[in-house]
Structures are given as C-alpha cells and as structure tokens.
A = this chain, B = another copy of it.
Amino acid sequence: MKATVITIGDELLIGQIVNTNAAWIGEELTRLGISVTRMVTVSDDSHEIQQAVERAVQESRVVVTTGGLGPTHDDITSQAVALVFDVELELDESIMSIIRDRFESRGFSLPESNTSQAMIPAGFESIVNLAGTAPALLKSYDHVEGQGLLAVLPGVPHEMKKFMRDNVLPRFTQMEGAQSIQQKTLLTVGIGESHLHELLEGVESSLNEGLSLAYLPSLASLRLRLTSVSDDEDAGRSRLEELEKWIRDRADKWIYGEGDDSLEGVLGRMLRDRGMSLAIAESCTGGGIANRITNVPGASEYFVGGVITYSNEVKKDLLGVLAETLDKFGSVSRQTASEMAQGVRNRFGADIGMSVTGILGPGGGSKEKPVGTVWLGISSQKSTSAVKLRLGKDRIRNKERASTAALNLIRTTILK
C-alpha cells in the first residue's frame, strides 16, 4: 500500500518550525508496511490543499494530512477536502455539543470561531479531539488498487499523535490487503556497525520470509530493528521472537535496552534495583554526563552528585588527585582518571565513582595526546581502572560520544 503525507502550514514553508510531524507519520506508516512515496508541504491556502489532496487520493490508498484545522486556521482544510469530494459542510451535532459543554464547564460561552469546528464535510466520519478542539476527519474512497482511506488531522503534534495511535493506525491495519506487522527495536552501545555485522554473520540465511533486520546507527549507539510481516499475527510474532533470541545469543552483552529506552534511564533502573549510588567527576565533558543522568525523573534516588574539574587545582583539592600524578603523567592519563574516579567515590561516599578527562577540541591537542584523546576512570569497592577512547575532532560530538561511553562503562561494571 502506498501513502502520501500532506503537511499544511505557512510556518513549515518559512522554516519557522521543522517538520517533525511528517517524519513521525512516515516512521509509523513504515512500521505498518505502508510505503510512503511522497510528502508534500503546502500553505494554509484552500486551493493548494485541495490540489494536493486530489492528487494524493488518486495516487495512494493511504493519505494523511496534518494542520490547517482549528480556530486559528478557519478550518481551511475541512473546506478544501469537502471540495475534493464535492460535498457540503454540515453541522456535526455531537461535535458541537461536546465543544459547547467544554466551554460551558469552564464558565465560558462558546466563541463564534469555535463553532466552525463542528462543520464537517458530508459523508465524513468525525472523531472528537480529547486533547484539543479540532476533530479528526476520516473518509473512505475508491482507489484503483482497492479501498482508500484519508485521515485529516490537526497539526499540533501531541493531538495528531493521539489520533494516529488511537484511531487512524488501527484503521489502516484493517484495510484490505494490509498485513500484520510486528516490530521490535534492540538498542546496542559500545559496538561498531561492522563488528556487529560480523557477530550476526549468517543472520540473512536464518531470516525466514517476512523477517527483516535493519541496522540504524546514530552518533554513539546502534539500533537493530527487527520486523516481521505476516498474514498471521501469531505466526509473525513467534518468528520475531525466534529472531530476537538468535540475536541475543550472539550479541546480548552489547544490548542495553529496547524501544524507547535511554541509556541513562536503563542505568538508573539498574542502580535503583541494586540500591547502589553513583558520583561523577567530569573534566572535559563539563557536566554533560551528569546532565543526562539527571534528565531521568527520580535520579536523586541513586545519583549523589558530582564535580566538574576544569582545572588541575580542583582535581587536587576536591578529588585528592596527587600533584605528583599530574606532574608525571599529565591530567589526561590513565593515572589521573583512576585517581579522579577513586577520589569522587570517596568524597561523595558513593558505591561507584566515574571520571572523565580528555581533550575534546578544537584546541589543546599535542602530538602525544591529540584532540579526541579521552580517559574514562571507574572505581567500585572491588577495583579501580581506566580505559582510553580515541574520538574525533568535533567538540560537541566528542562530548556526546564520551558521555555515552562513560554511561556504558558504568553499566557494564555493574553487570560484572
């Protein structure tokens, strides 16, 4: 099944906002095995919208529009799609009464501009917006390849997503010719794409028909997306589970989570479950690691705190790094990283102490220690050690990569 996504709004055309709606819808439709062949962005102009929708319902069995609905848009999209199907706008009494009730329950009378939202094209199905005011509109249509479905949604991202999840995506999966799609995403860290390919060598031959595996790399981690397309939901699911087991048998130590998990969130759960506490000494990452850890709600249950040591004086004074160590090995060294990790653990009375010291650029490199040289130190009751990273030349990317490596080092240390 082919799909067209139409996003409506001048704010998209002038680049005031980035079109995250289109990407999100593209991802969700792709998950369902629906092939998005075109995305179009047009202005809040009735004629432009009408043209785009006319072409889309000719080309695709699935059409999603977002935007151009609601009180500030004069419901221009409703008018445009009514013209496409050559129908009039009619007052939808159930939508009207809900909008009226909502205003009256807050002690307001209904503004004139909001009544237009209850005017929907004749023959369209309307769905009440629980998160906002503009309803969603659905319309079946005939297409040369079978029945088609047009979904007209508001542009506010959380309203659009709610309609898609609750109402629209389930309808697409019920369409004639739609297949059952199961997906699972495994999140890996600390392993490169080529190394993972090697570990999973032979996966292609173990992939039965309808199974597929995609490698989705990002800056410091790699997602594995497993997909099973099948006419039979149960069979599809059990094949997906087999594939997951096959992968985990070979690469489980690199897999830190699934789906929407974040590395800092997974690490937080591990620390909380074990009743362990963590303290961090950051030099080059300058708070980047602590910032990610404290993005997780409830981080105070396991994160005690940290020190940002942008000078050697602070490394000595607050963390007890020896002047001798700094003189002999320098601040970017195995020895300094180890002493920082041990120092912050002692100072904060934490179970685990983590440290980072390095040269992230653009300046500060030397022949022996070029930009991108980073040492991570880790200290627990059992032992203290350090590992070296060789990163690139871009400061911001290096901060991100060093932070991810540090979080993963804590994770693997806990698992040991």
Contact = CB atoms under 8 A, between A and B. Distances in A.
Interface of A: 12-20, 22-28, 30, 36-43, 48, 216, 280, 282, 284-291, 293-295, 297-300, 303-311, 313-314, 317-318, 347-349, 361-364, 395-396, 399
7 closest A-B pairs by CB: A286-B294, A15-B27, A287-B290, A15-B26, A287-B287, A39-B41, A287-B291
Contacts of A308: 280, 287, 290, 294, 305-308
12 contacts: A14-B26, A14-B30, A15-B23, A16-B216, A37-B43, A285-B291, A285-B294, A286-B290, A287-B290, A295-B395, A297-B362, A306-B307
B318 A310 contact: no
Contact of A314 (B27, B287, B304): B304
A17 B23 contact: yes
Given A13-B36, A13-B39, A24-B15, A286 B310 contact: no
A396 B292 CA distance: 10
Nearest to A16: B216
A305 B299 contact: no
Contacts of A27: 14-16
A300 B312 CA distance: 11
Give the interface SS of chain A, mostly helix, strand, loop or mixed: mixed
A291 B288 contact: yes
A361 to B, nearest CB: 7
Contacts of A40: 38-41
A299 B311 contact: no
Contacts of A15: 22-28, 30, 36
Given A286-B291, A287-B289, A287-B308, 20 more contacts: A12-B22, A14-B27, A14-B30, A15-B22, A16-B27, A19-B23, A22-B41, A37-B43, A37-B48, A38-B42, A38-B48, A282-B287, A286-B299, A287-B288, A288-B294, A294-B308, A297-B363, A297-B395, A305-B307, A307-B308
Contacts of A349: 313
A314 B305 contact: yes
B314 A348 contact: yes
B14 A36 contact: yes
Contacts of A13: 26, 30, 36-39
A24 B23 CA distance: 16
Contacts of A306: 287, 307-308
B299 A310 contact: yes
Contacts of A286: 290-291, 293-295, 299, 303
Contact of A311 (B39, B290, B300): B300
Contacts of A282: 287
A275 to B, nearest CB: 15
A22 B19 contact: yes
Nearest to A42: B38
A79 to B, nearest CB: 19
Contacts of A284: 294
A305 B311 contact: yes
A310 B288 contact: no
Contact of A26 (B12, B24, B305): B12
Contacts of A19: 18-19, 22-23, 39
A3 B307 CA distance: 52
A221 to B, nearest CB: 15
Contacts of A25: 15
Contacts of A295: 286, 395-396, 399
A204 to B, nearest CB: 21
A252 B308 CA distance: 34
A160 to B, nearest CB: 14
Contacts of A395: 295, 297
A38 to B, nearest CB: 6
